[in-house]
Amino acid sequence: MGVAFGVLRLSPDTFWSMTPIELNAALGAAGLSRPKAPGRDELARLMRLFPDRKTGDLNGG
């Protein structure tokens, strides 16, 4: 939000009505685009490394 408001000078209404794709396009136009989202394999690797809960923990933490 800091980049959206401070660098891109978007109004709150404009920012909150944007889709992630539109925001990424605006960031790209300013030379600030982010890399693509991780693919399925990378996401699976990250989920193994950083699980939401421990195995057998039914209470989430």
Does residue 59 form part of some domain? Answer: no
Q: Residue 55: its pLDDT value, please? A: 65
Residue 12 located in a structural domain = yes
Q: Quick check: is 8 in a domain?
A: yes
Domain residues for the domain of 25 are 2-49
Report the C-alpha gap between 53 and 60 in whole angstroms: 5
Count Cβ atoms within 10 A of the Cβ of residue 59 and give its class: 0-12 exposed, 13-18 middle, 19 or more buried: exposed
pLDDT given at position 50: 93
Q: Is residue 57 part of a domain?
A: no
The average pLDDT across 3-20 equals 94
Total number of domains in the chain: 1
What is the arithmetic mean of pLDDT over 32-57? 83
Phi, psi dihedrals of residue 34, rounded to the nearest 5°: -95, 155
**16 is a domain residue:** yes
Q: What does the pLDDT read at residue 18?
A: 95
Contact 42, 19 (CB under 8 A): no
User: For the chain, what percent of residues have pLDDT higher than 90?
Assistant: 49
Residue 55 lies in a domain: no
Percent of the chain with pLDDT over 70: 85
Mean residue pLDDT across the chain: 86
Place of tokens 């989430």: 60
Could you tell me if residue 61 is inside a domain?
no
